[in-house]
Amino acid sequence: MSAFNIVVVPEAETCLRCGSEITREVQFSYGDRRAHRYTVGEALRWGGNDLGLPARLVRVQGYPQVCPVCGLDPGTVYDIVIRDSVIASVALGTSTPYVDADEDFVVVER
């Protein structure tokens, strides 16, 4: 059983090393963690290997997969916003909201 899911970043990115235009995939741990692959606008699945509980607004920290062309690990994090169990956005982020959290997510509104 996997301990993460994947969300696809909606905008193409340019790899800093090889210059290739890539579609970035970001791993995150929230909801039913069975390597489900999501896009922005899709509802999370629940009822399996769950981490967290459905909530009105959640911010989740995501970790980018390496460049599929050259293997560069960008060494960054992404912010994933989930509203009513639907992925609302995924964007390059910071670790600031997660500093005091026990997990890589913060429930902003129940």
What is the reported pLDDT for 95? Answer: 67
What is the reported pLDDT for 57? Answer: 97
Q: Which residues of 39-54 are buried (b: 16+ CB within 10 A; e: fewer)?
A: ebeeebbeeebebbeb
- Residue 104 carries which DSSP code? S
pLDDT tens track, the chain, 110 positions: 469 999 999 999 999 999 999 999 999 999 999 999 999 999 999 999 999 999 999 999 999 999 999 999 999 999 999 999 999 999 999 766 676 677 899 999 99
Alpha helices for the chain (secondary structure H): none
**Range of the structural domain that residue 19 is part of:** 5-109
What is the reported pLDDT for 103? Answer: 83
- Name every residue whose Cβ is closer than 8 Å to that of residue 77 and which is 6 or more positions away in sequence: 61, 62, 63, 64, 92, 93, 94, 95
Number of separate domains in the chain = 1
